[in-house]
Amino acid sequence: MDFAFDARTEELRSKLLAFMDEHVYPAEQVAEEQRARLASPWDTPAVVGELKAEAKRQGLWNLFLPDAEYGAGLTNLQYAPLAEITGRSPHLAPTATNCAAPDTGNMEVLFQFATEAQKKQWLEPLLAGEIRSAFAMTEPDVASSDATNIETRMIRDGDDYVINGRKWYISGAMNPECAVFIVMGKTDPDGADIRRQQSMILVPRDTPGVEVRRAMRVYGYEDHSHGGHAEVVFHDVRVPAANLIGEEGGGFAIAQARLGPGRIHHCMRLIGMAERAIELMCRRAVARTAFGKPLAAQGVVQNWIADARVTVEQLRLLVLKTAWLMDTVGNKGAHTEIQAIKIATPRAVVDILDSAVQLYGAGGVSQDFPLAELWASARTLRLADGPDEVHQRSLARREIKRYV
Ligand SMILES: Cc1cc2nc3c(=O)[nH]c(=O)nc-3n(C[C@H](O)[C@H](O)[C@H](O)COP(=O)(O)OP(=O)(O)OC[C@H]3O[C@@H](n4cnc5c(N)ncnc54)[C@H](O)[C@@H]3O)c2cc1C
């Protein structure tokens, strides 16, 4: 086993680390200040556009997409350490490099399943970073971790589909740059095969009947930098049948395909968040004194830091192994590992961030340090892309099946 990164990964890592130091970290404060002066908090601060231009100029662009023509052509194993670096500044760096969710998952769906015309209309401007997108599946009225519950109706009417339904926690939808939704709904609600009832369709944001109703909060945060998480209602929204992605009834399968890479990307970035938390812990611990000695000299603080380091090293190895499996045997072959990292990483990173918050005292829960917001963001990943328990159930069933 070779634990070293290959030459291309090393080259991109050093470029990306320099980009973070020279451009991203200094822009964090600037973005906040600019946002406070914007007409709407959902608009994008100018500095984000500058970061995107610089990342594109340096070739730090679309790193997530394995296809060499449309994206950077990296394997998952090559992309993993790069995504980790962007996770150190999760509100800026993924967007700056055009590697932010939910656009990445949407671009992958379009790359894999869209027609040439759909690619031209939506994938190309997304890859160019000219527009943003959202993925609309979850509904407030049904347990949406089970996609067969989805109630939104997409009913064929002549050459169109007519969509009615209510979605929430639709990430990115508050951002006016979000030009298109990939909507999941039922085209055949009474079909015998419950996994063939759903389809996915492209809905331009400006289609009559699309109502972006309100921003949903995350532990009180509005998550502006993420483009918010909106409640979106579709009232008799009519779009051409040509907007369907893939075939009618294929929505469930596309959703499964979308989530493999998306889950590992989140885990990679979470590890970057944990690294940032360790750095912040160490800086604080050496700089602050209580009861006659630096916090760094307290055994309990040393335990937090040591445990965090041990955990991060374990998680990174599992994430890299998963990435390698996805590259060598495919997402299906890496199913158990994808679920394992999806369960293990957010839980562990939430704990690390919690220790960091504790070490920072009141500062830890304040707006003056990134820890509170990072904690909230990491905590949501125990729910988003499927709650822990759903993954535990399916992983355990596969394990047990071998003995039945
Ligand atoms: C910040 C954030 C961003 C999100 N972004 C998006 C987005 O962009 N697009 C989108 O469509 N959705 C998005 N979501 C929604 C997310 O994917 C759902 O919240 C998630 O799939 C769970 O669905 P639910 O909320 O309906 O929970 P439910 O399905 O009601 O489940 C509630 C709880 O029940 C338990 N449970 C459910 N099933 C099982 C089981 N089989 N075994 C044991 N326990 C179980 C779990 O504890 C689970 O947490 C986002 C959510 C958050 C918090």
* H helix intervals, 360-370: 362-365
Cβ atoms of residues 31 and 99 within 8 Å? no
CATH code, domain carrying 176? 2.40.110.10
User: 324 falls in which pLDDT band (50, 70, 90)?
Assistant: very high
Q: By alpha-carbon position, which residue is closest to atom 12 of ligand 1?
A: 138
Q: By alpha-carbon position, which residue is closest to atom 43 of ligand 1?
A: 389
Residue 85 lies in a domain: yes
Strand 210-215 to strand 153-157: parallel, antiparallel, or no bridges (unpaired)?
Answer: unpaired
Q: How far is the CA of 387 from the centre of ligand 1 (A)?
A: 5
pTM of the model: 0.96
Strand 198-204 to strand 178-186: parallel, antiparallel, or no bridges (unpaired)?
Answer: antiparallel
Return the sign of the alpha-carbon dihedral for residues 20, 22, 27, 29: positive
Q: Do 300 and 195 share a domain, yes or no?
A: no
Q: Do 53 and 137 share a domain, yes or no?
A: no
- Which of 245, 260, 276 is the last residue in one of the domains? 245
Residue 351 lies in a domain: yes
C-alpha span between 93 and 353 (Å, rounded):
19
Q: Is the pLDDT of residue 258 over 80?
A: no
Q: Do 257 and 348 share a domain, yes or no?
A: yes
Amino acid at 71: G
- Which residues does a 6 A CB cutoff place in the pocket of ligand 1? 102, 135-138, 143-145, 169-171, 218, 229, 380, 383-387, 389-390, 393
Q: Do 28 and 82 share a domain, yes or no?
A: yes
Residue 193 lies in a domain: yes
Q: Is the pLDDT of residue 188 over 90?
A: yes
Q: How far is the CA of 18 from the centre of ligand 1 (A)?
A: 37
Residue 305 lies in a domain: yes
The domain in which residue 46 lies consists of 7-114
Q: How far is the CA of 339 from the centre of ligand 1 (A)?
A: 15
pLDDT per residue as tens digits for the range 144-162: 999 999 999 999 999 999 9
Task: Give the pLDDT of residue 1.
Answer: 85
Closest ligand 1 atom to residue 377 Cα is: 1
Residue 144 lies in a domain: yes
Q: Do 256 and 397 share a domain, yes or no?
A: yes
Residue 124 lies in a domain: no
Closest ligand 1 atom to residue 142 Cα is: 26
C-alpha span between 360 and 82 (Å, rounded):
28
- Which of 191, 219, 245 is the last residue in one of the domains? 245
Q: Is the pLDDT of residue 259 over 80?
A: no
- Return the minimum-mean-pLDDT range out of 171-175, 224-228, 275-279: 224-228
Residue 152 lies in a domain: yes
Residue 237 lies in a domain: yes
Closest ligand 1 atom to residue 101 Cα is: 8
pLDDT per residue as tens digits for the range 329-344: 998 899 999 999 999 9
Among 104, 145, 174, residue to substitute to test ligand 1 (most atoms within 8 Å of Cβ): 145
Closest ligand 1 atom to residue 102 Cα is: 8
Closest ligand 1 atom to residue 218 Cα is: 1
- Which of 211, 245, 279 is the last residue in one of the domains? 245
Among residues 84, 76, 170, 88, the alpha carbon closest in space to that of 132 is found at 170
Q: By alpha-carbon position, which residue is closest to atom 28 of ligand 1?
A: 143
For helices 299-333 and 251-287, give the axis angle rounded to 10 degrees: 160
Among 183, 201, 383, 394, residue to substitute to test ligand 1 (most atoms within 8 Å of Cβ): 383
CATH code, domain carrying 74? 1.10.540.10
Task: Give the pLDDT of residue 260.
Answer: 72
Q: Do 265 and 221 share a domain, yes or no?
A: no
CATH code, domain carrying 352? 1.20.140.10
Q: Do 258 and 367 share a domain, yes or no?
A: yes
Share of residues in the chain with pLDDT > 70 (%): 100
> Which residues are CB-contacts of 277 (< 8 A; sequence separation ≥ 6)?
308, 349, 352, 353, 355, 356, 371, 374
Closest ligand 1 atom to residue 393 Cα is: 42
Closest ligand 1 atom to residue 136 Cα is: 11
Q: Do 91 and 207 share a domain, yes or no?
A: no
Q: Looking at 241-287, which runs of residues are DSSP E strands?
A: 244-245
User: 273 falls in which pLDDT band (50, 70, 90)?
Assistant: very high
DSSP assignment of 2-35: --S--HHHHHHHHHHHHHIIIIIHHHHHHHHHHH
Q: Do 288 and 304 share a domain, yes or no?
A: yes
Q: How far is the CA of 146 from the centre of ligand 1 (A)?
A: 9
Q: By alpha-carbon position, which residue is closest to atom 9 of ligand 1?
A: 170
Q: Is the pLDDT of residue 117 over 90?
A: yes
What's the domain count of the chain?
3
Q: Is the pLDDT of residue 264 over 80?
A: yes
Q: Do 24 and 108 share a domain, yes or no?
A: yes
Among 169, 212, 374, residue to substitute to test ligand 1 (most atoms within 8 Å of Cβ): 169
Q: Do 147 and 104 share a domain, yes or no?
A: no
User: 187 falls in which pLDDT band (50, 70, 90)?
Assistant: very high
Task: Give the pLDDT of residue 385.
Answer: 87
DSSP state of 191: -
Q: Do 76 and 166 share a domain, yes or no?
A: no
Q: How far is the CA of 327 from the centre of ligand 1 (A)?
A: 28
